[in-house]
Amino acid sequence: MTANRDKAVNLPIPDISVLKNWKVKNSSRPFNEDDAIRYLSRAEAQFAERLGKVVDTVLGKDETTTRS
């Protein structure tokens, strides 16, 4: 154990400034707009349902059930 510890090369303590160089991790296959548009045509009815619920939340159900 002692021998191993003697052989170990201790790294210098890094300065706080190295954190400024922290980059995002990223890589991706190409984005395909056609897939997104196909998704949209499939999901439109679901979006309508979600939007209706959000509007109920924002406006309050009592108000939204009263037709103007």
Residue closer to other proteins, measured from CB, 5 or 25: 25
Nearer to other proteins, 10 or 46 (CB): 46
Chain positions contacting other proteins, by CB under 8 A: 23-24, 26-31, 33-37, 39-40, 43-44, 46-55, 57-59, 64-65, 67-68
Which residue, chain included where needed, has tokens 């999901």? Answer: 43
Q: Which is nearer to other proteins, 13 or 36 (CB)?
A: 36
Please report the DSSP string for 8-40 in residue order. PPPPPPPPGGGGGG-PPP---PPP-HHHHHHHH
